[in-house]
A and B are shown apart, each in its own frame.
Chain A
Amino acid sequence: MEKGFLNQKSFEIRNKVLDIFSYGNRGHIPSAFSIVETLTTLYYQYVDIEKIKNNSEDRDRIILSKGHGCLSLYSILHDHDLIKEDDLKTYCRPGSVLGGHPTKGKIVGIEASTGSLGLGPSVAVGMATELKRKGSPAEVFVLVGDGEINEGSVWEALLSVGNKDLDNFTIIVDYNKYQSYSSTEEVCDLDPLKQKLEAFKLKTFEVDMINEPESLLLCLQEKVSIPKAIICHSIKGQGSKLLEGNLHWHHKSYLSSEEVEKVRSSLKKRQL
C-alpha cells in the first residue's frame, strides 16, 4: 500500500479524535495520537475488518490495553461503521456507550474492557491459547503503553506466553517515551526494552512510527513460530506540532472550542 494512505488516513483519524473529544470534553488526546499510525495499520491494512464486523469466530482480535488511548480506537471503529455518529456525540455523557476507557459488549470490535493498566496482555494470552486450541487461524494483538508496562501483570503474561507455542500472539508497545508524571526514563526506565522482551522469549521487532510507520505492516506480516513483540517508537501527542512532547496535555480536559481548534490547526502530515 502506498505511503500516502497511512499519512492521509492518520491525519483524518486525528481530526476525528478532536471531534469526539469535543463532544465529551474528556479524554487523553496525546495518548490517542501516539497510537494512530499503529491502529490505522492494524485496522486498515492487516486484519480482515469484515470478520470483525460479523463477529466471526475466526476474526483477529485487537485489545487496546492502554484503554485511555480509546479516542483513536473510537475514531477508527466509527470510520468502519462500527460506531454511529450519534453515539460519538454522547461520548462521556449520560446514556453513552462510549467513555474515557472502552467497555466490552457495547460496541462490536471492543474485545475486552480496559482502563486498569496491565490487564490486557493476559486476556490476549488466553484468547490466543483458546483460538489455537480450536484450530482457528485468527491472531490476537494487544497494544500496551510504555508507562503501562511498569505493571507487573504485563510481565506475568509475557513470562507465560514466552513459554507457549503461540505464533498468533503479538504484543505491541507504544513507546512514546512519556508517562503521566514525566519521561519513562525519569520515572521507570524501560531500557533495554528490546533485550528484556527477547529475554522473555518473544521475537521482538522495533519500528520507527515517526518516520517510517509503513514498516510496521512488514513486521506484522512476518511469520514467526513464537510469540511476537513489536516496539513502536512514537511521540506522545504525535502528529500535532502543539502536543508533541508536551506532557501538560496528558490529563488536559475541558478544552474550550478555541483550544480544540488550536490543536486541530497544529495537526500535520509527514513530509513524504
Chain B
Amino acid sequence: MRKAGLNAIYELAKEDKDIVFIGSDLGVDTLKEFKDTLPNQFFMEGVSEGHMVGMAAGMAHAGATVYINTIATFLTRRALDQIVVNLCLDNAKVRLYGNGGGLVYGPLGATHTALEDLSLLSAIPNMTVLAPSDSVEMIDLIKESKDFPGPIYIRLGKGGEKVLSKAGTAKIGKAFFDKHSKSEGKVLICTTGVMRQRAVLVREFLEKESIFVDILHNHTIKPLDTNSILTTAANYELVITLEENVPNGGLGQQIGCLLLENNICPKKFIRLSLPDEFPQEYARQEEMFLTLGLDPESVASRIKELYV
C-alpha cells in the first residue's frame, strides 16, 4: 500500500510540476526514481516533522500541492500545532502520508504505534481524513487528492494487503457498501482502513455458521459519508463498528452519535476498537489483535453470540 501510494504520487508529479514531495529522513532510496528524474519536486528534510509540516504549508501558500511522508505517530503528534495552525486554519493544500497506522509498529513499542491519529486529525476543522484498505483504493484516493481542497491525512497499513477494491471506484467522502450475496440484512460491520480486511475474514468465518455479514467500508473518516451510513444502517438488527484506533473520537463513536441523532437504533450496536490504553506488550500487529480479542475469529465469535 505504501509503495503503491508513493508511486501514485510520483505519477501525479510527472504530470504536474506543482506537485512536490517532502520526506523526513525516510529510508534509503525511498522514491529514488522520483528524486533522480524530478529533483526539483523532491525534498528530503531532516528529522524535524514540525518543520516539515510548516515548510509544506509555506510551499502550498506559494502555489504547490505538497505530499509529505513519515511515520504516522511523529507526523501527527510531533507536528500537531503546525497541522492545526499552518495546515488547517490556513487551509493549505498539503497531504500527510502517515506510515504505520494503528499497531503496525507494535514490535517497536508505544512510541511508534498510531493509536489515536484518526481521532486527533478528525477533531480539527478543515482536515480530511482517509484510511484506505488496500493498494488499489490507495491509488484511487491519491488520484482523488490531487485536486481536493484543503489538507488531507492519509493513514497507511502495513502493506501486502489483499486487494479487495476495484480500481476507479473509491471517491473521497463516499463509503463503499459490500453486500453479501446471501445477505439477510441483519448484520452490518462498518469499517475503516485495513480493518476492512479483517471484516472480510470475519464474514468468511460466519458464513460457515450461515450468518451473512454486509460491510460498509469508510475509507473516508472525515467527512463521514453520513447519507450512506444512515440509509444502510437503518435496515440492520446488529451494527458493529470495527477500527484500529482508540475508542474516543474514532469511527465507532462518530457512527454511534450519528445513528442516535437520527433516531436509528439497531437492536444491538457494538463498537470494536483498540482499548483506551497503551499497548501492554511488544508484539506484531496480528499478535496484538489476538491479545485484544480483535482478531477475525474472536470478532466472529462475538457476533455469533449476539446474533439471534
Contact = CB atoms under 8 A, between A and B. Distances in A.
B119 interface: no
Contacts of A140: 58
B90 A122 contact: no
Contact of B61 (A111, A134, A136, A159): A111
A156 B48 contact: yes
A216 B64 CA distance: 32
B58 A119 contact: no
Contacts of A157: 51, 54-55
A103 interface: yes
Contact of B55 (A103, A105, A131, A160): A160
Most chain A CB neighbours (cut-off 10 Å) among B20, B52, B53, B59: B59
B62 interface: yes
A127 B61 CA distance: 7
A104 B92 CA distance: 11
Q: Classify chain A's interface size.
A: 20 to 34
A128 interface: yes
A177 B20 CA distance: 40
Interface stretch (B39-47, B239-247, B256-264, B285-293): B39-47
Contacts of B59: 126-127, 129-130
Contacts of A114: 85
B86 A112 contact: yes
A123 B54 contact: yes
Given A126-B62, A156-B50, A159-B48, A133 B90 contact: no
A160 B51 contact: yes
A127 B169 CA distance: 35
B242 to A, nearest CB: 36
Contacts of A113: 85-86, 89-90
B76 interface: no
A75 B187 CA distance: 63
B47 to A, nearest CB: 9
Given A125-B54, A127-B62, A119 B82 contact: yes
A112 B90 contact: yes
- Residue of B51, B58, B63 ringed by the most chain A CB atoms within 10 A: B58
Interface in A96-111: 103-105, 111
A112 B61 contact: yes
| Candidate in A105, A114, A127 with the most chain B CB atoms within 10 angstroms | A127
A174 to B, nearest CB: 20
B150 to A, nearest CB: 12
B63 A160 contact: no
A8 interface: no
Contacts of A153: 50-51, 54, 82
B85 A119 contact: yes
A123 B63 contact: no
Contacts of B70: none
A253 interface: no
Contacts of A122: 50-55, 57-58, 82, 86
B233 interface: no
A125 B90 contact: no
18 contacts: A61-B62, A111-B61, A113-B90, A115-B85, A119-B82, A119-B86, A122-B55, A125-B51, A125-B55, A125-B58, A127-B58, A127-B59, A130-B59, A134-B63, A136-B62, A156-B50, A156-B51, A160-B46
Interface of B: 20, 40, 43, 45-46, 48, 50-64, 81-82, 85-86, 89-91
Interface of A: 57, 61, 103-105, 111-116, 119, 121-131, 133-134, 136, 140, 153, 156-157, 159-160
